[in-house]
Homo-oligomer: A and B are copies of this chain.
Amino acid sequence: MTTYAAPIRDMQFVLHDVLRISQQDLPGHGDLDREFTEAVLDAAGKLAAEVLAPLNAVGDRQGCRLENGVVRTPEGFKAGFERMREGGWTALDCDPEFGGQGMPYVIGLAAGEMFSAANMAFTMYQGLTHGAYSAIHAHGSDEQKATYLPKMVSCEWTGTMNLTEPHAGTDLGLLRTKAEPQEDGSYRITGQKIFISAGDHDMSENVIHLVLAKAPGGGEGTRGISLFIVPKFLVNEDGTLGERNAVSVGNLEEKMGIHGNATCVMNYDGAKGWLLGELHKGMRAMFTMMNEARVGVGLQGYAVAEAAYQNAAAYARDRLQGRAVTGDANPSGPADPLIVHPDIRRNLMDQKSFLEGARALAFWGAHLIDRAHLAQDRQADDLVSLLTPVIKGFLTDKGFDCAVQAQQVFGGHGYIEEQGMSQFVRDARIAMIYEGANGVQALDLVGRKLAAEGGKPIMAFFEMVKSEIKAQETDEVLQAQFCEPLKAASKDLQAAAMFFMEQGMKNPNAALAGSYDFMHLFGHVALGLMWLRMAAASRKALEEGTQDATFHETKLATGRYYMARQLPATAMHLARIRSGAEPVMALDAARF
């Protein structure tokens, strides 16, 4: 059995020492002081550790079942979901006008990290609802908002996103689901959607499906796509539930992981739906929320890895095996704990130094989204749009790698399902795939985000790195241990961007062939920047005579590890990128 402890201390550090959120000018959020966020995070952490985490293995073992067309969630999920609702956790960062608590997204994300770490499959029911809530909040009519949002904020009704069809994954232009306009202003939706997370279940009264479909007159490809609200139960004018809509669960997928979440084939057989937003602008409406949704998946990647790491560290401290090469560390015992062995340390430090950097990056991304939404900060919006594919792609790839490394600490025991480490690996795997597979993130980054606004956001990022390095020029320790490695890594990133620009016109494949490496290169530079910020904050705290010197010294040592051991990857990625498209594209398709 695995356990989970909420990393509140580290979250508080990121929120207050690094992001300094109480000093930021977020309209309507003047009260985000240390005590307040600590109280919120403590309560969320308690729920995660005490209610959600114990349900994690249950969900994996039992999975969901389809019984007479209705999905049954694993034992205890329903009661757990009620606890979550009762605590107001589903409403945390929602609009007070519809019953939300109105906290910024960064606080919702922090709570979400703990919930996902404790039980990813369970937390997805709420996560999908939040996505659907955001789409209706942004694009719905007043009537639609009034009808759906209060119930979705409380998760009495949950939500889904229906994009994928059997023949249309990344390429949504191929989708076939049809929407036929009716005389009463509604549409009849007909088609099949697959991979619908939380598509049906027994924890809420209603499920509100957001469905991409083609309505007449929109033209070919993605231009013809509109977004529709299709509730499982139709809603009467007085808000009570009416008749069952013609949408049903065709099948429940057996998956590698996240067994506790119901991944459904959804059949729409002339189901009643209502247009959300503008006709034929469904793609745009769906993707308004993309940064938030993708940052949320990036978070899942490192959150599950955090849980895996905690268990690996505990096992490495407890399990006695072998002796330290530098002399017995536990002379009275039969052997030394695993953690004395340098290669076990290397493994754990890889994880720890990634995870803390990942948290800082995800929180920064969330904070930029807050700046964009609450303060209409255009630069923040541009920057987070640039960072989003990096947060999604890099954090989920590395998060999965960390979960694998955590499992490795257990040796053969890690391969046994009962131990729980396999579930972390299997669950973390999906985050690399859904919400845009990581190859698509790399394509988005290189094909779209790099050139966005004439390259202003990427230039702004480079300027930011430069000025933050410069700001530490009087601190020799930071210069040597953090600034110099970051400077070198950032240069590699600039050189890669330059290579793409030079090649861009004459050979578009060159940029695409290097896109995945670019995403990872960028990820390392971004985490390097996070570590410089965190190191600077810890140096400051130590200079000011903090009460918590151990925390800050640990932080500095962990950051030194990242800079010394992880950042050297940037040169490798640059070398790969510079080899260009030729080696990648040399073979005919038949020769594979």
1/0 per residue, CB under 8 A from B, across A133-152: the answer is 00000000000000000000
**One of A123-131, A266-274, A333-341 contacting the partner:** A333-341
CB A513 to nearest CB in B, in angstroms, measures 4
Contact of A416 among B253, B347, B581, B589 (CB under 8 A): B253
A254 to B443, CA, bound (A): 39
CB of A509 within 8 Å of the partner chain: yes
Give residues of chain A (210-257) contacting chain B, Cβ–Cβ below 8 Å: 253-257
CB of A379 within 8 Å of the partner chain: no
> Which residues of chain B have C-beta atoms less than 8 A from A378's C-beta?
none
CB of A343 within 8 Å of the partner chain: yes
Q: Which residue of B lies closest to A417 (CB)?
A: B254
> Which residues of chain B have C-beta atoms less than 8 A from A174's C-beta?
320-321, 334-335
Give residues of chain A (422-443) contacting chain B, Cβ–Cβ below 8 Å: 422, 425-426, 429-430, 432-434, 437-439, 442-443
> Which residues of chain B have C-beta atoms less than 8 A from A254's C-beta?
416-418
CB of A326 within 8 Å of the partner chain: yes
Give residues of chain A (554-576) contacting chain B, Cβ–Cβ below 8 Å: 554, 557-558, 560-561, 564-565, 568-569, 571-572, 575-576
Contact A412 B572 (CB under 8 A): no
Contact of A439 among B408, B433, B443, B513 (CB under 8 A): B408
Q: Which residue of B lies closest to A316 (CB)?
A: B592
> Which residues of chain B have C-beta atoms less than 8 A from A509's C-beta?
325-326, 342
> Which residues of chain B have C-beta atoms less than 8 A from A438's C-beta?
408
Contact A412 B195 (CB under 8 A): yes
Q: Which residue of B lies closest to A335 (CB)?
A: B171
CB of A414 within 8 Å of the partner chain: yes
> Which residues of chain B have C-beta atoms less than 8 A from A590's C-beta?
317
- Given A348-B592, A587-B554, check contact A581 B342 (CB 8 Å): yes
CB A383 to nearest CB in B, in angstroms, measures 24
1/0 per residue, CB under 8 A from B, across A572-592: the answer is 100110010101111101111
Contact B416 A255 (CB under 8 A): yes
> Which residues of chain B have C-beta atoms less than 8 A from A429's C-beta?
404, 407, 415, 425
A413 to B571, CA, bound (A): 34
CB of A169 within 8 Å of the partner chain: yes
- Given A508-B325, A592-B339, check contact A583 B195 (CB 8 Å): no
Contact B343 A443 (CB under 8 A): yes
CB of A515 within 8 Å of the partner chain: yes
CB A122 to nearest CB in B, in angstroms, measures 18
CB A478 to nearest CB in B, in angstroms, measures 16
- Given A422-B256, A560-B586, check contact A412 B169 (CB 8 Å): yes
Q: Which residue of B lies closest to A169 (CB)?
A: B411
1/0 per residue, CB under 8 A from B, across A509-524: the answer is 1001101100000000
A564 to B510, CA, bound (A): 14
1/0 per residue, CB under 8 A from B, across A254-295: the answer is 111100000000000000000000000000000000000000
CB of A344 within 8 Å of the partner chain: yes
CB of A20 within 8 Å of the partner chain: no
Q: Which residue of B lies closest to A513 (CB)?
A: B342
Contact A411 B433 (CB under 8 A): yes
Contact B560 A568 (CB under 8 A): no
- Given A171-B322, A509-B326, check contact A579 B592 (CB 8 Å): no
> Which residues of chain B have C-beta atoms less than 8 A from A349's C-beta?
583-584, 587
CB of A62 within 8 Å of the partner chain: no
CB A544 to nearest CB in B, in angstroms, measures 21
A417 to B259, CA, bound (A): 11
1/0 per residue, CB under 8 A from B, across A534-559: the answer is 00000000000000001000100110
A586 to B167, CA, bound (A): 52
Contact B516 A412 (CB under 8 A): no
Give residues of chain A (296-315) contacting chain B, Cβ–Cβ below 8 Å: 313
A589 to B317, CA, bound (A): 7
Q: Which residue of B lies closest to A568 (CB)?
A: B575
Q: Which residue of B lies closest to A423 (CB)?
A: B256
A-B contact pairs, 8 of them (CB 8 A): A253-B418, A316-B589, A325-B509, A342-B584, A343-B439, A343-B512, A343-B515, A349-B587
For the complex of A and B, 10 pairs with smallest distance between CB atoms: A568-B575, A342-B512, A564-B579, A256-B422, A313-B592, A557-B586, A342-B513, A561-B583, A171-B321, A254-B417
Could you list 7 further interchain pairs (A-B, Cβ under 8 angstroms) beyond the known A255-B417, A325-B509? A317-B590, A339-B589, A341-B443, A414-B433, A557-B583, A560-B583, A564-B576
Interface residues of A (CB under 8 A from B): 164, 167-171, 173-174, 194-195, 253-257, 313, 316-317, 320-322, 325-326, 334-335, 337, 339-349, 352, 400, 404, 407-408, 411-418, 422, 425-426, 429-430, 432-434, 437-439, 442-443, 447, 508-509, 512-513, 515-516, 550, 554, 557-558, 560-561, 564-565, 568-569, 571-572, 575-576, 579, 581, 583-587, 589-592
